[in-house]
Amino acid sequence: MGFDSNPRKLGSRAAPARKPEQSIMRLPKEALPLSAERSPTQILKKLIRFARKSRYERAFAVRRYFGEWGSRIPHLGNDRTTYVIGLFGSGRNYITGLMLKHLGKRAKYLRETVRYHPGPTSMIYTGHATIRHASRGQELPAVTSRVLQTVSLGFADLIFINRHPLDSLLTNWIFWRIYIRYNIQVEGISRVYKNRDDLCSDLEQNFLEFRAFAEGDPGFFSALPIDAGWGANGSPRFLSFAEFVEEAELFCQSATLTLRLEDFMIDPLKEFSKIAGLMSVDPNLNGLSIAPPRTRPYGYLAVKEKAPRFRDFISDLDTETKRRIEKIGYEL
């Protein structure tokens, strides 16, 4: 779903934690700020999980938390720089995890950032970005423009991770409201609600808040200073739903390869082989078992059925947004 699986405190200036306003919403026990005390058993379990990861996954985690060491940019053979881009809530982290596990030596060059190079390199960059509209939590269009330039010159490849925009919308609304209230990240709807009925009930009760988020209302983020907290890049707001869909269409038009998260739920090995083929990497796919994403495909349909106001929201979408959703390969 494009979110860190280990929720953590992310900035001293974000909104302070406060009691839940709706008893129907819960937080997983492991979703604690770093300042919260953890038992020795919890710490041991985290260390064991870390030790079981591949060496490339461990190195990636160390770089992510402690920064980059060295500045040498490698370029081996005929490699081209690879950019793995997904809009927020697209499942990009799932793809990143597959690459770390199954790309072999090339995976050691994977970084969670988006950096421009004027020529080809062996680097793999992964992150959120936008082409036209500035948005909190995503690289600015000025950065993406330079990436697209190097792609057009044949020095790099852009892999775009796509997902049904309405599934992303629900995921993103839940992610940001939890982050704003509690200053932590959570991964997935199931980490917050016991079942879909609880989600639908909460959505109906807080529909005005949901609609404000879907319309890109800066007031939704009023508790977060634009220059502090996770995802701060000088933009006070997140994409409206219409802008989100427009960005997806623009990336589909610009990407070297577009992959749908839903297709990984059907045949993850087939979809991953497309990545390996584009990068000219031989990960020895014979006998390889790849786990599909944990998220459900087209979960918005169950919400649409049980939440009348959400159903009306979909029905009232403007004609251009509906056209763009169909253009990128999805239905309403």
Angle at 199 between CA 88 and CA 160, to 5 degrees: 20
In this prediction, residue 282 carries a pLDDT of: 83
Alpha carbons 27 and 322: distance in angstroms, whole number: 34
In this prediction, residue 283 carries a pLDDT of: 73
Structure tokens at 86: 């997904």
Structure tokens at 192: 């917050």
In this prediction, residue 199 carries a pLDDT of: 94
Q: Could you read off the pLDDT tens digit of each residue along the chain, which spans 332 residues?
A: 433 333 333 333 344 444 444 445 565 444 444 334 456 666 666 666 656 666 555 555 545 544 454 567 999 999 999 999 999 999 999 999 999 999 988 999 999 999 999 999 999 999 999 999 999 989 999 999 999 999 999 999 999 999 999 999 999 999 999 988 888 888 778 888 888 999 999 999 999 999 999 999 999 988 877 666 666 677 778 999 999 999 999 999 999 999 999 999 999 999 999 999 999 998 767 667 899 998 889 999 999 999 999 999 999 999 999 999 999 999 99
In this prediction, residue 297 carries a pLDDT of: 92
In this prediction, residue 232 carries a pLDDT of: 66
In this prediction, residue 292 carries a pLDDT of: 94
Q: Is residue 34 part of a domain?
A: no
Contacts of 315 (CB under 8 A, 6+ apart): none
Q: Residue 266: is it exposed, middle or buried by C-beta count within 10 angstroms (0-12/13-18/19+)?
A: exposed
Q: Residue 127: is it exposed, middle or buried by C-beta count within 10 angstroms (0-12/13-18/19+)?
A: buried
**What's the total number of domains in the chain?**
1
Q: Is residue 15 part of a domain?
A: no
In this prediction, residue 217 carries a pLDDT of: 94
Q: Is residue 85 part of a domain?
A: yes
User: What residues form DSSP beta bridges with 321?
Assistant: none
In this prediction, residue 74 carries a pLDDT of: 92
Q: Is residue 137 part of a domain?
A: yes
In this prediction, residue 67 carries a pLDDT of: 46
- Domain with 177, as residue range(s), is 40-327
**Segments in 80-195 forming alpha helices (H):** 92-102, 141-152, 165-182
Q: Is residue 14 part of a domain?
A: no
Contacts of 150 (CB under 8 A, 6+ apart): 81, 116, 117, 118, 119, 156
Q: Is residue 68 part of a domain?
A: yes
Structure tokens at 281: 């990497």
In this prediction, residue 72 carries a pLDDT of: 79
Q: Is residue 115 part of a domain?
A: yes
Q: Is residue 12 part of a domain?
A: no
